[in-house]
């Protein structure tokens, strides 16, 4: 059922009339904070976001947003409990977040040199967490229902390109096996129109 819904969604986005303007964006993404800090407190300096948007109106766009953030932390000595097992020692903690959203974005001053925007995304977030301690590895992989509010600004560099600066809050809701997770990301990149 999920595959059918995804295919309908993708086909709907790509069958918008050819007269609508579209854009592609590549952004560097830095992740931090949120409830992911319960597992890793370090900032993610490894991340990227790719967006494809269609503009049925100059002040509004719909699109698809796919991202990735990798979190890593080494703890010199810590205790970790999973179920009925508790272990202590040097730990290497990793987490990967892959959000996939369908987005809607409103632009406040379309056509202006500086154009602030606000957007919302709904979709899924794949979260993979693993902890290495000596020869042992504890893993957790889950797909979560996800939401993303976003605010930022576009700076027009040329008729075909904008500079984008954005701030996002990624919320992954709880599953049967995993508690809800969240993190924020600061994105910077370029939009080609």
Length of the chain: 193
> Rounded to the nearest 5°, which phi and psi values hold at 153?
-145, 140
Of 54-58, 127-131, 168-172, the poorest mean pLDDT is in 127-131
User: Between the CA of residue 178 and those of 61, 140, 170, what are the distances in Å?
Assistant: 33, 8, 16
pLDDT of residue 186: 96
Under the banding of pLDDT at 50, 70 and 90, the label for residue 41 is confident
List the one residue out of 12, 148, 156 whose CA is nearest residue 67.
Answer: 148
Contact 142, 127 (CB under 8 A): yes
Tell me what percent of the residues of the chain surpass a pLDDT of 70: 90
pLDDT of 39 > 90? The answer is no
Higher pLDDT, 106 or 7: 106
Question: Could you tell me where the beta strands, DSSP code E, fall in the chain?
Answer: 21-32, 46-57, 60-82, 85-107, 114-133, 136-158, 161-172, 181-192
pLDDT digits (tens, 9 = 90+) for 76-130: 887 877 778 777 888 898 999 999 999 999 999 998 999 999 999 999 999 998 8
Under the banding of pLDDT at 50, 70 and 90, the label for residue 16 is very low
86-106 residues labelled b (16+ CB within 10 A) or e (exposed): eeeeebebbbbbbbbbbbebe
Q: Which architecture characterizes domain 26-192 according to CATH?
A: Beta Barrel (2.40)
């Amino acid at each position: 059922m999920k595959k059918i819904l995804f295919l309908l969604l993708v086909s709907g986005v790509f069958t918008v009339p050819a007269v609508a303007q579209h854009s592609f964006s590549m952004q560097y993404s830095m992740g931090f904070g949120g409830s992911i800090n319960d597992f890793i407190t370090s900032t993610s300096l490894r991340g990227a976001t790719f967006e494809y948007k269609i503009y049925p109106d100059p002040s509004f766009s719909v699109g698809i947003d796919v991202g990735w953030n990798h979190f890593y932390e080494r703890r010199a000595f810590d205790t970790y409990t999973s179920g009925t097992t508790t272990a202590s020692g040097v730990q290497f903690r990793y987490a990967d977040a892959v959000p996939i959203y369908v987005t809607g974005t409103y632009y406040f001053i379309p056509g202006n040199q500086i154009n602030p925007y606000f957007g919302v995304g709904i979709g899924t977030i794949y979260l993979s967490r693993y902890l290495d301690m000596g020869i042992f590895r504890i893993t957790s992989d889950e797909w979560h229902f996800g939401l993303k509010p976003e605010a930022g600004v576009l700076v027009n560099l040329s008729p075909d390109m904008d500079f984008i600066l954005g701030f996002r809050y990624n919320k992954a809701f709880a599953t049967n096996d995993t508690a809800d997770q969240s993190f924020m990301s600061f994105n910077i990149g370029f939009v080609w129109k």
